[in-house]
Amino acid sequence: MAGVSVQAFRRQGRRFGAGLVCSEMVSCAGLNHGNERTLGYLRIADDEHPLAVQIFGSAPGAMAEAARVVEGAGADIVDINFGCPVRKVTKTGAGATLLDDPDRACRLVEAVAEAVDVPVTAKMRRGLENDSRTALAVGPRLVEAGAAALTLHPRSAKQMYTGEADHALTAELVDLVDVPVVASGDITSRTRALEVLESTGCAAVMVARAAQGNPWAVAEIAGVEDRDPTREEVVAELLLFIRESVRELGEQRATGFLKKFYGWYLGRGRFPKPFKQELVQLATIADVETRLLAAAPGARDLLDDLEAEFAVGEEVVLDLPISALGGG
């Protein structure tokens, strides 16, 4: 979810029924060095809570200091990433590679848990290699080190996002630990969510890619509402997301950041495929808004209502712009 789970995305998730939202992963090194883009992730609105901020790194001291910054910014949970399979993260000794260094992983959890008063959680993959069962050995040790909950995405780092998430492994982890386990991976519908909850005994499910440009999936999975949005509703939500992203990122940065969202919102048969490509080629955000409202004029009133009802209230801002392009 790097380059996706910015404040606008998280606020939308809460509005559609998510019980907890999470930041994209934040580099502990960037926080500790005062990197402008990294600190920009810690922009937290009052309607995002409860909110987890996920950090990654490989040095216990640096992770502890970063956790203190995260707690100070208002996070309700500090989550540690032991799951990212991306090379530029794993080559630093962080992310999923820590599953093959359980002693260090435990030292990270212990250091962070001692540094903050909020709960510390950990997100894992099953291991580095296909069919690995490393998570079952490491998970209980992370709990002993201080993890208050575990999230398991039961794909290997090698799989990335291919194949299927093996939630039989999630069920095994649930039986091994006495803290809540969250199931992540292939949670795309309420039916699937209920199946995973029942078959694994997990405490909750995590929704990621299914929510990209599709907050109605979050509402359906959460049991809030189950219906397809109208074209006007899709455009109104996209326009609100555009405006919120511009407020967070500035127009120049938001222009590139938003392009992937056009396809996510407008796909699924909601609009003809060429329409998304047309928007990507427009020069300015104003041009995009004009074209969207021309395609669904009724969205204007819906947008006005959304902006009036869900205006940003108080928020923690570190006097820095948020980055949509950093991270792993």
Residue 326: pLDDT band (50, 70, 90) is very low
**Phi, psi for residue 102 in degrees, rounded to 5:** -60, -30
* Same domain as 120, residue 258: no
pLDDT of 130 > 80? The answer is yes
* Same domain as 238, residue 189: no
CA 49, CA 68: separation in Å to the nearest integer? 18
CATH code for position 127: 3.20.20.70
**Phi, psi for residue 184 in degrees, rounded to 5:** -125, 140
pLDDT at res. 41? 76
Find the catalytic residue in 28, 84, 106, 202.
84
pLDDT at res. 328? 29
153 pairs with which residues across the strands? 125
Name the domain count of the chain: 2
Give residue-wise pLDDT tens across range 71-107: 999 999 999 999 999 988 998 899 999 999 999 999 9
* Same domain as 135, residue 17: yes
* Same domain as 190, residue 78: yes
CA 304, CA 312: separation in Å to the nearest integer? 14
* Same domain as 208, residue 251: no
Is residue 323 assigned to a domain? no
SS3 42: coil
Is residue 328 assigned to a domain? no
pLDDT of 253 > 80? The answer is yes
Among candidates 104, 182, 187, 196, which has minimal Cα distance to 149? 182
Is residue 322 assigned to a domain? no
- Per the annotation, the verdict on 28 as an active-site residue is no
> What's this model's pTM, rounded to 2 decimal places?
0.90
Residues ≥6 apart with Cβ < 8 Å to 12: 215, 237, 240, 241
* Same domain as 237, residue 195: no
pLDDT at res. 29? 84
pLDDT at res. 3? 83
pLDDT at res. 313? 63
Task: Report the b/e string of 35-61 with b at 16+ CB within 10 A.
Answer: bebbbbbbbbbebbeebbbbbbbbbbe
Is 154 in contact with 169 (CB distance < 8 Å)? yes
Is residue 1 assigned to a domain? no
CA separation (Å) from 100 to 94, 129, 185, 285?
11, 10, 21, 45
State the alpha helices, DSSP H only, in the chain: 7-15, 28-32, 36-39, 60-73, 87-90, 102-115, 134-145, 167-176, 190-200, 215-222, 231-249, 251-257, 259-266, 273-281, 285-295, 299-309
Domain of residue 281 covers 231-316
Give residue-wise pLDDT tens across range 37-67: 777 778 888 999 999 999 999 999 999 999 9
* Same domain as 275, residue 218: no
Give residue-wise pLDDT tens across range 189-232: 999 999 999 999 999 999 999 999 999 999 999 999 999 999 99
Q: Containing H/E element for 44?
A: strand 44-45
pLDDT of 323 > 80? The answer is no
